[in-house]
Amino acid sequence: MNTTAHQFETSFDLDEPKAEAPPVLHEPTPIPRIAIQAFCDSPEVSSVLETAAADRRMAKAHMKIHMGGIPAATDFYQSAPTPNLILVESRQTADELLGSLDGLANVCDAGTKVIVLGRMNDVLLYRELISRGVAEYLVIPFALTDILGTISRLYHDPEAGPLGRSIPFIGARGGCGSSTVAHNVSYMIAQTYDSDVVLADMDLAFGTAGLDFNQDPPQGISEAVFSPDRIDDVFLDRLLTKCTDRLSLLAAPSTLDKTYDFDERTFEALIDTASQGVPSVVLDVPHAWTNWVRHTLCNADEIVITANPDLGNLRNAKNLIDFLKASRPNDHPPRLVLNQVGLPKRPEIKPAEFADALQIEPLAIIPFDAQLFGTASNNGQMIAEVDGKATYTALFGDIAQVLTGRGHVQRAKKSVLAPFLQKLRGQKA
């Protein structure tokens, strides 16, 4: 790995001020919209990191600096989700360092990278750290350009793949609440995990993301898809509308002055560019089955299908899941969200039976609540902003937790299949 070689080629004398060393960062390589938390153990390191946090190359990233080193970090993450990147300073001996990193690893969520800042200039220790999953080891003292260069290389390594995960949400039927779920989950990822999200409303004619977030921007996704040659991170940035500190929207025009018949790959450049810059790219896909919808789903990192508990939804969800499982045999099967469950007087398929028919446990079962969802929708607010009891907020939080790779949420046990569902499965088989 280049970074490995580079790290030890630039080994330096600890007594010599590092500012003398040639800068590692040769060209400005901005760091993407990641959340970084640092746990320092000395004023000299925290001071360099404070300068780094204010550097123009960190303008999109968010860095919080704490003191206390690895013990403080381990303690902190017992009860808090881990960010995209953690920097930990250590003054420990090699054995102590490896021991305390094991403790930190136990509380780190999947996908979090760790950079260790230490005082030992030792190749064997470096190799041991890398083999244990540490992303990089930087020897103290280091210059501002060293830390910026190290973080930048981590997120611009072509071998490492894109930073962000693309997560399309699609409804098994029109109107089943797929957009509502997509918007609320995006909001929860941004709020709970302090992690940046780009939400792209791909329903250009009828999309509701602008309404749901009370935004009416003059430009958005339409400019991106009708100027594919111009798409890069700078152009994309201009089209984004900030809904919260961490949540940016690529709004649909939601007008009918054009028709929207896209090619299979129309959205590809847009999704790729967005994925280079943010940890989560949520795609609000309309209920349709076109070349571009199929292509977007097939190439996604995660897929969320929202369904209501009736037979039409079940049939469509099953077709979607069967198709996507067959086309993506090496990926996680699509995720299922059951929404609008318990609509008064409506005969419904029980969630357990629905899940059993699809052989997929729902990530969340969201009750029908006309008052709450109607209020949120009419006010252009998210459920978390109007949910007094926080019950629904927790459900969207569960979905956010799984989609950001932070483990599974326990669900209720399955029940026995109703005969008509068995029949449906038999026909499909």
Ligand X SMILES: Nc1ncnc2c1ncn2[C@@H]1O[C@H](COP(=O)(O)OP(=O)(O)OP(=O)(O)O)[C@@H](O)[C@H]1O
Question: Which residue, chain included where needed, has tokens 């109107």?
Answer: 175
Number of H helices, E strands in the chain: 18, 13
**Of residues 179 and 393, the one with the C-beta less far from Mg ion:** 179
String of contacts with ligand X for each residue 159-188, x by CB under 6 A: ------------x--xxxxxxx--------
**Of residues 86 and 250, the one with the C-beta less far from Mg ion:** 250
How far apart CA 302 and CA 111 sit, in angstroms, is 14
- Nearest partner of 179 among 315, 341, 382, judged by Cα: 382
How far apart CA 282 and CA 267 sit, in angstroms, is 13
Q: What is the DSSP string of 186-200?
A: HHHHHHHH---EEEE
Picked from ligand X, Mg ion, none, the partner binding residue 420 (CB below 5 to 8 A depending on kind) is none
In the complex, minimum distance from the CB of residue 288 to ligand X, in angstroms, rounded to a whole number: 9
241 touches Mg ion (CB under 5 A) = no
Q: How far is CA 17 from CA 51, 81, 136, in A?
A: 17, 36, 21
List CB contacts of 4: < 8 A, sequence separation 6 or more: 126, 130
In the complex, minimum distance from the CB of residue 404 to Mg ion, in angstroms, rounded to a whole number: 22
140 touches ligand X (CB under 6 A) = no
Which of 8, 369, 405, 417 binds ligand X (CB under 6 A)? It is 369
Which of 140, 314, 366, 421 binds ligand X (CB under 6 A)? It is 366
312 touches ligand X (CB under 6 A) = no
**Of residues 175 and 342, the one with the C-beta less far from Mg ion:** 175
Question: Which residue, chain included where needed, has tokens 């054995």?
Answer: 95
Spacing of C-alpha 370 from chain mean position: 29
In the complex, minimum distance from the CB of residue 178 to Mg ion, in angstroms, rounded to a whole number: 5
186 touches Mg ion (CB under 5 A) = no
**Of residues 233 and 369, the one with the C-beta less far from ligand X:** 369
CB 213 within 8 A of CB 352: no
- Nearest partner of 352 among 340, 367, 338, 331, judged by Cα: 338
**Of residues 202 and 403, the one with the C-beta less far from Mg ion:** 202
Site for ligand X in 19-38 (CB under 6 A): none
**Of residues 194 and 348, the one with the C-beta less far from ligand X:** 348
339 touches ligand X (CB under 6 A) = yes
How far apart CA 172 and CA 9 sit, in angstroms, is 55
For residue 26, count other CB atoms closer than 10 A to its CB: 9
Amino acid, single-letter form, for residue 222: S
290 touches ligand X (CB under 6 A) = no
**Of residues 149 and 171, the one with the C-beta less far from ligand X:** 171
Which of 179, 186, 308, 339 binds Mg ion (CB under 5 A)? It is 179
String of contacts with ligand X for each residue 392-411, x by CB under 6 A: --------------------
CB 395 within 8 A of CB 364: yes
How far apart CA 296 and CA 291 sit, in angstroms, is 9
* 150, two tokens: 């190290």
How far apart CA 211 and CA 284 sit, in angstroms, is 14
Helix orientation angle between 311-327 and 419-428, rounded to the nearest 10 degrees: 40
- Nearest partner of 294 among 318, 262, 270, judged by Cα: 262
**Of residues 85 and 204, the one with the C-beta less far from Mg ion:** 204
Picked from Mg ion, ligand X, none, the partner binding residue 30 (CB below 5 to 8 A depending on kind) is none
381 touches ligand X (CB under 6 A) = no
**Of residues 176 and 198, the one with the C-beta less far from ligand X:** 176
287 touches ligand X (CB under 6 A) = yes
Picked from ligand X, Mg ion, none, the partner binding residue 112 (CB below 5 to 8 A depending on kind) is none
Question: Interface with ligand X by CB under 6 A: which residues?
Answer: 171, 174-180, 203, 206, 208, 286-287, 339-340, 366, 368-370, 373, 377
Question: Interface with Mg ion by CB under 5 A: which residues?
Answer: 179
